[in-house]
Amino acid sequence: MVKAINKLAGQTAIYGLPSIIGRLLNYLLVPLHTAVFLPERFGVITEMYAYVAFLVVILTYGMETAYFRYQSKNEENQKAVFSTVMISLLGSTTIFILFTSLFSQGIANAIDYPENSEYVVWFAFIVGLDAISSIPLAKLRMENKAIRFALINLSSILVNIGLNLFWVGYCIPEYEAGNSSFLIEWFYTPDIGVGYVFLANLFASIVKFLLLSPQMLKVKAEFDKALWKDLLVYGTPLLISSIAIIVNENADKILLKWLLIDDLGKESSIAIVGVYGACYKLSIIISLFIQAFRYAAEPFFFAQSNDKDAPKVYAKIMNYFVLTCSLIFLSVMFFIDILKYFLANEEYWVGLHVVPILLFANIFLGIFYNLSVWYKLTGMTRYGALIAGIGAVITIALNIWLIPIFTYTGSAWATFLCYLSMVIISYWIGQKYYKVPYQLKKVIFYLLLAAVLYFLSTLIDPYISTSLGYVLKSLVLLLFAGLGIALEKPKKAIIS
């Protein structure tokens, strides 16, 4: 068991490293974006990427997980699986890009950006290229080609960062200051404004696609219709599940504008989206860990499934996962007074009170991903769709109810309650079909202890100096980590 867990930890680090570095670099763009763009402009970025999240899931329609499943299942015919999936995605993506480009103005009108139909075209190519690229990247993960996987992702990330620094960090401030240079004259158009964030992403997606193209060109024109139907049957419930999860993650950012626009007007409602989106970024550290974990865990869970001790391994992994997330939560909240400066403009700080709610919400989302092993391994993916669908209904209902009353604070609580509900439902159903001996007392203990320690810190902070507070909080973090390590030692757990 220890060997298996160590392997997962290593794979999480390897496959998560480019993701973590990339998202950390993007995280470091938050001060740049919040310094250059006021909340109403940053709100445009937040809203557009909320739409993108839906499109990426729709365009891959569960094929990535289906690829993992059928690659493991059909070892003698892996080339057929890869080529069938690739041909399917290439066809559907081409249709999507053509359709979206032809009707870009109508789509722009529908989302209330009638003067920026170019955004629609740019994002059509971004999500299309990313959807196609997802399978070659999955193949690299399946083949344990971690270095190539990392280099391709990091190359794309660096292009995105570099172009953001050039256009947003250099051109916009220089132009607004009345300065000029040949770089600004040749490569900058003032009317594009916040659109340069999207253009940087487009070029990054193109670079990733080109770097993966040699692998894609090796695909033989081999389309197995029967296999394709099996892939769709397996992947469709996952698509529904993924759409529901995206609703849970991003519907609030869309609904905020539309539910407040009549009372506050377009600019003010988008500004609220901007504040919420910026504060959401402060919960990114847990999201980074969860994404890194998912990259490694999905193929690991499938590979481990034939081992008789697999359920015990999955249970132990849950303990380590929750312990790590609890430490991340405390680290962020103990030092929020420092981290808030990543939001360069004080206009964004008004939303900091939602950060602990969103951090805990993301912990529950990560727990749900851990629990999802039961329906993926048993092939009962319809239950994943059902659970996520229930979560989506909860998300939409609570947002509609709470946003008019509490604005983005209501959105944060809706997210928290949604993921908590999904965890409870998934555990209850999962134990009936694929019993995993999760140590609930430990999991709940770690979460409650983290919440109590944070609450106590808020009570003590006003009565001690900042420097002493940081020392005490650092000591608490070390003690929390030490306690977790002691509890997880074999046969020495205090709580079972």
**Tens digits of per-residue pLDDT, 310-353?**
788 888 889 999 999 999 999 999 999 888 888 888 889 998 99
Beta strands (DSSP E) in 252-389 are none
Host domain of residue 370: 2-488
Give the Cα separation of 483 and 478 in Å (integer): 9
Q: Provide, rounded to the nearest whole percent, the portion of the chain with pLDDT above 90.
A: 42
Average pLDDT over residues 374-400: 86
In a domain, 92, yes or no: yes
In a domain, 495, yes or no: no
Give the Cα separation of 404 and 400 in Å (integer): 7
Give the Cα separation of 320 and 420 in Å (integer): 19
In a domain, 493, yes or no: no
pLDDT of residue 7: 56
Specify whether the CB–CB gap between 173 and 96 falls below 8 A.
no
Give the Cα separation of 25 and 14 in Å (integer): 17
One-letter amino acid of 429: I
Contacts of 486 (CB under 8 A, 6+ apart): 492, 494
pLDDT of residue 491: 59
pLDDT of residue 294: 74
pLDDT of residue 432: 87
Question: What's the distance, Cα to Cα, between the start and end of the chain in Å?
Answer: 17
pLDDT(493) > 50: no
Specify whether the CB–CB gap between 81 and 227 falls below 8 A.
yes
From the DSSP assignment, how many helices (H) and strands (E) are in the chain?
21, 0
Other Cβ atoms less than 10 A from the Cβ of 64: the count is: 22
In a domain, 44, yes or no: yes
Q: Which of 162, 197, 190 is closest to 175 using CA atoms?
A: 190
For the residues of 254-305, what is the DSSP string, one character each? Answer: HHHHHHHHHHH-HHHHHHHHHHHHHHHHTTHHHHHHHHHHHHHHHHHHHHHT
Q: Among positive and negative, which fits the CA dihedral 435, 440, 446, 447?
A: positive
pLDDT of residue 402: 95
In a domain, 218, yes or no: yes
Q: What is the band of 298 on the pLDDT scale with cuts at 50, 70, 90?
A: low
pLDDT of residue 153: 86
pLDDT(494) > 80: no
pTM of model > 0.85: no
Structure tokens at 10: 């290593």
Q: Provide, rounded to the nearest whole percent, the portion of the chain with pLDDT above 70.
A: 89
pLDDT of residue 421: 95
Q: When comparing pLDDT for 50 and 493, which is higher?
A: 50
Q: When comparing pLDDT for 337 and 292, which is higher?
A: 337
Choice among 277-286, 320-329, 357-366 with the minimum mean pLDDT = 277-286
Q: What is the band of 205 on the pLDDT scale with cuts at 50, 70, 90?
A: very high
pLDDT of residue 138: 82
In a domain, 496, yes or no: no
One-letter amino acid of 35: A
Q: List own/partner pairs for 451-457 with CB under 8 A and 24 or more apart.
A: 451/360, 453/330, 453/480, 454/329, 454/330, 454/333, 454/334, 454/356, 457/333, 457/334
Q: What is the pLDDT of residues 20-69, one digit of tens each?
A: 666 676 677 888 899 999 898 999 998 999 898 889 888 988 888 788 77
Q: Which of 232, 220, 330 is closest to 285 using CA atoms?
A: 330
Choice among 143-147, 225-229, 313-317, 431-435 with the minimum mean pLDDT = 143-147
Place of tokens 């999936």: 85
In a domain, 372, yes or no: yes
Q: Which of 57, 49, 55, 54 is closest to 26 using CA atoms?
A: 49
Q: What is the pLDDT of residues 87-97, one digit of tens each?
A: 888 899 999 99
In a domain, 474, yes or no: yes
pLDDT of residue 228: 84
Give the Cα separation of 203 and 256 in Å (integer): 30
Domain count, the chain: 1
pLDDT of residue 492: 45
Average pLDDT over residues 118-140: 91
